[in-house]
Amino acid sequence: MKLSTKLMAPAIAALALFFTTNVSAQDSRKFGIGLSLGVPTTNLYNFAIGADARMQFDVTKRLSIPVAAGYNHYIAKDNVLPDYGYIPVKTGLKYFFDPSGSGLYAMGEVGAAFGVTSRAKTTFLYAPTVGYSWSNGLDLGVRYENTGKGVDIVGAPQMGQVALRIAYGFKL
């Protein structure tokens, strides 16, 4: 594991903890669980499936700080490469375009992808998202998630997916 990766994950976690501690005292918190289905951006994998849990700390009605963790799994097309599984741990900013704090939003997240399957490694990840959140808690989003060269194989491609996420969230 690279030294930069070893240092980055605790730094992101500390930053998320700092923001969430300050924000949670000011405003509301939401918790959500979601499922996602993705299309890998490399032709070496058939599809990706994942699940996550997300805490969302509202700074204002329009701006939130999400902190998420889960599991994603890419299914390989053949037996040449192993399946690719990782635990994403990420945080970012979520901005709602409607003043009510629901409706259309844009979100950007960064974090670490901790590889858990054969030959998977820990890498930096980023995930821009656009979505729509209803006031009843239903959330539908489309994201591009890139985990870099997530498998430790010579000539391995950049690992990424375009995923559809459906989730349900509620206020705590």
pLDDT of residue 10: 55
- What is the C-alpha to C-alpha distance for residues 136 and 139, in angstroms, rounded to an integer? 9
Q: Where are the beta strands (DSSP E) in 41-83?
A: 45-58, 63-76
Residue-wise pLDDT tens digits, 23-57: 444 458 999 999 999 999 998 899 999 999 999 99
Residue-wise pLDDT tens digits, 58-83: 999 999 999 999 999 999 998 778 89
- Domain limits of the chain? 3-166
Residue-wise pLDDT tens digits, 134-163: 999 999 999 999 999 988 877 778 899 999
CA distances from 10 to 6, 39, 58, 90, 109 (A): 7, 30, 23, 11, 16
pLDDT value at 11 more than 80: no
Contact call for residues 90 and 123 (beta carbons, < 8 A): no
- What is the C-alpha to C-alpha distance for residues 96 and 4, in angstroms, rounded to an integer? 33
Pick one of 3.40.50.300, 3.30.200.20, 2.40.160.20, 3.40.50.2020 as the CATH number of 3-166. Answer: 2.40.160.20
pLDDT of residue 31: 97
pLDDT of residue 6: 52
C-alpha R_g of the chain: 16
Name the pTM for this structure.
0.83
pLDDT of residue 67: 98
149-155 CB contacts, 8 Å cutoff, 24+ apart: 149/121, 149/123, 150/84, 150/86, 150/113, 150/115, 150/120, 150/121, 150/123, 151/81, 151/82, 151/84, 151/115, 151/119, 151/120, 151/121, 152/119, 152/120, 152/121, 153/81, 153/119
Mean pLDDT over 115-123 rounds to 94
Place of tokens 């656009």: 130
Contact call for residues 146 and 154 (beta carbons, < 8 A): no
